[in-house]
A and B are shown apart, each in its own frame.
Chain A
């Protein structure tokens, strides 16, 4: 997934606050990539059941570097990658504070640092309190939010964002469709994390049917959560289909490509979800299911940012305001 568009033909805005900082942008892209890998590594911890292989925190068996054997490889490996991402975020926050003139970007960079620290503490709490589901779910969802924050920062530093404001109107509703898709995907990830940390991944053991039916009997919370995740997948696909149609009709080729990418990733994600069930939660499909979920969210979020930057509010969005104004004038 790319978070910048180097081929944007629009003229660049002038002024110190709008100058393109190539290295800081590259650094932010590196952070996005590292965070996606971190989410994958975190998924591995849960998939391999290694969440408590290191019983202490912040040290590991009282050491900075324990032997990387068995479940420790996954749990301590996740901590190492997380430390790396935390360090990158720290560097980025100070770098941005020093170089960035836009207060919003500076604040968001500090927020990213705050989130990554909070995320580390949540990780510690999960270890100290033996993986309480509420904390583990929050840890999973905050990771996805942090990923989105980094994407926003990276896009905010891109040539495309720094370029001239949009001139084309959003006549097909891409902006709304992208934002709706992002929110639905985020909620779907919340349900997925709940399912995962309630160990409900195999509560419905068959696919595509559920206990041989379209709708199973909800005899347990686990079945309800699991089925909710499946229903969520259908909603996500519907949202992404709507986004794809709107993006294709917008005649903005970049957004059209983003729509194709989002739907393509979501289809891969559904296949991985099916593989997770059919292989009884084998480590590889289960972990890739987590990481691909993040990629779908990131793609939708980036599409939202790009649509809001590249397109002005369209007639569909302005019409209600106009009609209200018209109604007021006639009243």
Chain B
């Protein structure tokens, strides 16, 4: 009995390696619907109208989840009383961290603002939990913690990246070229960390504060469809309303998201 037949069989078992090398890319999930910036539209000018209002929440607020911090003693040290992860923040009926944006009606092209948008990692959590930016705008990611984080967004349309920030004070700059809704961002070291980035084709958006209020400024006069979307509740629960604004006018729009 020689070893040859068994060696041949084992070589056959190494076929997955060849398959992986020659294999095509795995099927990507269907891309989220997103508003693409028109390529050759005329540059739009900013206006003087605004839309303000409140996003309310209708439904049972999910219970906060207790985070197991023991995996990283430095995170545990920052939250000596423990950390509870509340993904749906409601105060006085108002829902926080809701992106309210002009879904349609803002015609023209809008260059990316020069200023950066900041996503900070502080206290083993993200600040803010909802990041909104214009396609091409710079996203500054900062580690304010005395522990390491990796920043790993999982977009469907834009390029995925995974960056490590092992030291406190480190900053990285990234950008997303295409409009895309609710890109989940996570830290694989601390799996409870979660934020959402939305990349838009116009600068007319706001994120609700703790009490659910928002103000979208600098709108030109016109008729708009405004949508409110929450990261945890998802795109399926987004609500939209139509509103007409005139130059210099402050229009009011209240929306309600159902749980």
Q: Name A residues whose Cβ lies closer than 8 Å to a Cβ of B.
A: 48-56, 61-63, 66-67, 69-73, 75, 102, 104-105, 107-108, 111, 115, 118, 122, 125, 130, 132-135, 137-139, 141-142, 144-145, 148-149, 152, 156, 165-166, 186, 190, 198, 221, 305, 308-309
Contacts and interface: CB of A to CB of B under 8 A. Distances in A.
25 contacts: A48-B191, A52-B162, A53-B189, A55-B162, A55-B163, A61-B166, A62-B166, A67-B147, A69-B75, A69-B148, A69-B189, A71-B188, A71-B191, A72-B189, A104-B4, A104-B7, A107-B7, A111-B7, A118-B14, A118-B17, A125-B20, A130-B162, A137-B16, A142-B14, A165-B1
B24 to A, nearest CB: 7
B71 interface: yes
Contact of B13 (A49, A61, A73, A145): A145
B126 to A, nearest CB: 15
Contacts of A165: 1
Given A72-B189, A142-B14, A105 B71 contact: no
B7 A108 contact: yes
B148 A305 contact: no
A166 B1 CA distance: 9
B25 A134 contact: yes
A132 B25 contact: yes
Contacts of B74: 69
Contacts of A102: 3
B166 A66 contact: yes
Interface of chain A: mostly helix, strand, loop or mixed: helix
Nearest to A121: B17
B72 A54 contact: no
A195 to B, nearest CB: 13
Given A54-B164, A115-B14, A148-B13, A104 B71 contact: no
Contacts of A190: 16
A145 B26 contact: no
A145 B215 CA distance: 60
Contacts of B27: 221
Contacts of B7: 104, 107-108, 111, 152
Contacts of A66: 148, 166
Contact of B10 (A50, A63, A108): A108
Contacts of B16: 137-138, 141-142, 145, 190
A148 B10 CA distance: 7
Contacts, number: 123
Given A66-B148, A66-B166, A134-B19, A305 B188 contact: no
Nearest to B74: A69
Interface size class of B (residues with CB under 8 A): 35 or more
B20 A61 contact: no
Given A61-B164, A149-B10, A104 B188 contact: no
A118 B19 CA distance: 13
A70 B26 contact: no
Interface of B: 1-4, 6-7, 10-11, 13-14, 16-17, 19-20, 23-27, 71-75, 147-148, 150, 152, 160, 162-164, 166, 187-191
A198 B26 CA distance: 9
A289 to B, nearest CB: 19
A138 B188 contact: no
A206 B167 CA distance: 44
Contacts of B1: 165-166, 308-309
Nearest to B162: A55
A53 B14 contact: no
A138 B164 contact: no
Contacts of A186: 13
Contacts of B163: 55
Contacts of A107: 7
B166 A53 contact: no
Contact of B152 (A52, A104, A141, A152): A52
What 8 A-B pairs come out closest when comparing CB atoms? A138-B20, A104-B3, A145-B13, A134-B23, A53-B188, A70-B189, A141-B16, A69-B72
Contacts of B189: 53, 69-72
Contact of A54 (B20, B25, B150): B150
Contacts of B190: 70-71
Nearest to A145: B13
A118 B148 CA distance: 29
B215 to A, nearest CB: 37
A70 B72 contact: yes
B166 A122 contact: no
A142 B17 contact: yes
A218 B115 CA distance: 49
A122 B148 contact: no
B90 to A, nearest CB: 27
A49 B19 contact: no
Contacts of B164: 54-56, 61-62
Contacts of B191: 48-49, 70-71
B11 A111 contact: yes
B56 to A, nearest CB: 33
A122 B17 CA distance: 8
Contacts of A145: 10, 13-14, 16
B127 to A, nearest CB: 19
A133 B28 CA distance: 10
A122 B20 contact: yes
Nearest to B152: A52
Nearest to B7: A108
